[in-house]
Structure 1
Amino acid sequence: MPELPEVEALAQFLREHAVGAVVGRIDVAALSVVKTFAPPVSVLSGCDVTEAGRWGKFLGLRCDGLWLVTHLSRGGWLRWVDEPNPTPPKPGGKSPLALRVHLFTPAAATPAFDLTEAGTKKRMAVYVVAQPEEVPGIARLGPDASTVTEGQFADILAGTAQRVKTVLVDQTLVAGIGNAYSDEILHMARISPFARTNTLDAEKVAELYTAMRAILTDAVQRSVGQDAARLKGEKRSGMRVHARTGLPCPVCGATVREVSYSERSFQYCPTCQTGGKVLADRRLSRLLK
């Protein structure tokens, strides 16, 4: 799933390549992706692209007085196409293409960007709204992880007794962090994913905040400026524990472990984060002794 660094990089990519262009035809290949119907997406045709924005893990383009907003969800992505097929895609096909936006640039080029979604579970969403806050998911967002202050972050943790991992990925508490970067943040802060927020002292909260800002800042710096097609690889290349089950921890050399659920998994280092204990790989999440 694209998280804050990748979505910020996509927003910057659109600022450089789409802002200043005029929206041409919009092809909807997956009818289920469009979550708003008034106004229809077709109303954006002929509009000037004036701005690109990010809200947590939501991405948007301002087209005159309207916003085209998307949440890429788990399997979604944005793909830039310099020479798109002029033939409209057939709705309901097996292609991962969900929506295509044709553009006319000031340089007389006619590129497009595609919103695609891999997998069988289609969760990507597209909205056409006057203000981003009209999107329910954006209206519920907590402070952005890239701008939240240390005091605000401490108050968020103090207001709950949930597991730290759960808090980091809860978009209503802190916006922008997902499964992958929460693994990396907890590893850097040397905190167990199952630690409760009410067990963290002030020093540990400060370390967690510092790790969050460091991980995200580094990831944004590595991602911004990359071609959209290379962002996924750039994300994977910077991971120290996430998606590295069975490999050595780059800090201590211990084997990176995994906890699996029905639709996702997360990784951690027992030596760095749990005092050498291996977390049970089941939903009860009890520590194995």
Structure 2
Amino acid sequence: PASVADVEILSFSVLKTARIPVQSLAGRAATSVSRRGKFIVLEFDGLFLAMHLARAGWLRWSDSLSTGRLKPGKGPIALRLRLSGDGAAPGFDLTEAGTRKSVAVYVIEDPGDVPGIERLGPEALDVDLHQFTAMIREHRGQIKGLLRDQSFIAGIGNAYSDEILHAARMSPFTVASSLGEQQVAVLHGSLRTVLETAILSATGKPAKELKDSKRRALKVHGRAGEQCPVCGDTVREVSFADSALQYCPTCQTGGKLLADRRTSKFLK
């Protein structure tokens, strides 16, 4: 296996651990790659590099990274890892667009030492219907928030929770514990179908095509004001402090508009 030639930290805020220097990875062979929730975990001979991509993070592989050193704070690259090679080395850049810096990197001896990983629930596609039913029965919160809660179930974000609920024809404000047996089965089936379809659609596509491909496949998320492709109704939005959800009134709420704090006074 290839070994680490060099690691550059270009954004000092990205590194969340200090006990093990990031350069301790140099010379170690890459031995495994795994994912937990939104964390990508690389193992290098007993040391682990865990990366949380947050909302705007991307891991961009290159077969031929330049060997020249980069200037910290210039551009979107937060970390560059080069593997051993002749001439231009293979490796990857961890990038983050925008000014809100949320991408996080950890160098640890055990992935369980990362608080965000330790708190994660089971992976969404590893949960069967029996386990999913038992998990749902324990919660009284709204189903939209529950699907996004990484400590409940890992791997579902804002976009795909909207898509799952639309596929299940379920209001995002439905109280989880109120769901009947058949509703839970439909929700679980929708979860699997939406996520498996998304993975299949993304497989093999180059990074530059992934965002556009994902957007084209979404039926309600990010489509407020557009027509629902299932029924033709107008997709609506509910905004929160730092996020928003989208839904179809006809498909999901029996035609009822959900109260949005920006416009709720008009919905009485």
TM-score, normalized by length of structure 2?
0.94
Aligned partners of 2:66 and 2:88 also within 8 Å: no
Report the CA distance shift for 1:249/1:24 in structure 2 as closer, same or farther (over 3 A).
same
Give unpaired runs (5+ residues) of structure 2.
none
**Secondary structure at the residue paired with 2:205?**
coil
Corresponding residue for 1:70?
Answer: 51
Aligned partners of 1:280 and 1:287 also within 8 Å: no
Of residues 5, 11, 14, the one that matches 1:30 is: 11
Cα displacement (A) at 1:84? 2.5
Residues 179-190 of structure 1: pairs in structure 2 closer than 5 A: 179-190=158-169
Cα displacement (A) at 1:86? 2.5
Cα displacement (A) at 1:284? 11
Residues 151-190 of structure 1: pairs in structure 2 closer than 5 A: 151-190=130-169
Residues 46-57 of structure 1: pairs in structure 2 closer than 5 A: 46-57=27-38
Of residues 135, 144, 155, the one that matches 2:114 is: 135
CA distance in 1, matches of 2:218, 2:192: 15
Residues 121-270 of structure 1: pairs in structure 2 closer than 5 A: 121-270=100-249
Corresponding residue for 1:111?
Answer: 90
Aligned partners of 2:125 and 2:192 also within 8 Å: yes
Aligned partners of 1:244 and 1:256 also within 8 Å: yes
**Secondary structure at the residue paired with 1:133?**
helix
**Secondary structure at the residue paired with 1:112?**
strand
CA distance in 2, matches of 1:21, 1:149: 37
How many residues were matched structurally? 268
Of residues 60, 63, 71, the one that matches 1:82 is: 63
Amino acid at match of 1:36: T
Cα displacement (A) at 1:233? 2.2
Cα displacement (A) at 1:274? 0.5
Amino acid at match of 2:12: L
Matched, 1:42 2:20: no
Corresponding residue for 1:102?
Answer: 82
CA distance in 2, matches of 1:155, 1:283: 36
CA distance in 2, matches of 1:109, 1:125: 27
Aligned partners of 2:67 and 2:88 also within 8 Å: no
Aligned partners of 2:30 and 2:45 also within 8 Å: yes
Amino acid at match of 2:226: L
Cα displacement (A) at 1:285? 7.8
Amino acid at match of 2:32: E
Give unpaired runs (5+ residues) of structure 1.
1-19
Aligned partners of 1:190 and 1:273 also within 8 Å: yes
TM-score, normalized by length of structure 1?
0.88
Higher relative contact order (CA 8 A, sep 6+): 1
Moved over 4 A (4+): 283-287
Aligned partners of 1:257 and 1:270 also within 8 Å: yes
Aligned partners of 2:60 and 2:207 also within 8 Å: yes
Supply the RMSD in Å over aligned alpha carbons.
Answer: 1.9
How many percent of aligned residue pairs carry the same amino acid? 50
Cα displacement (A) at 1:242? 0.6
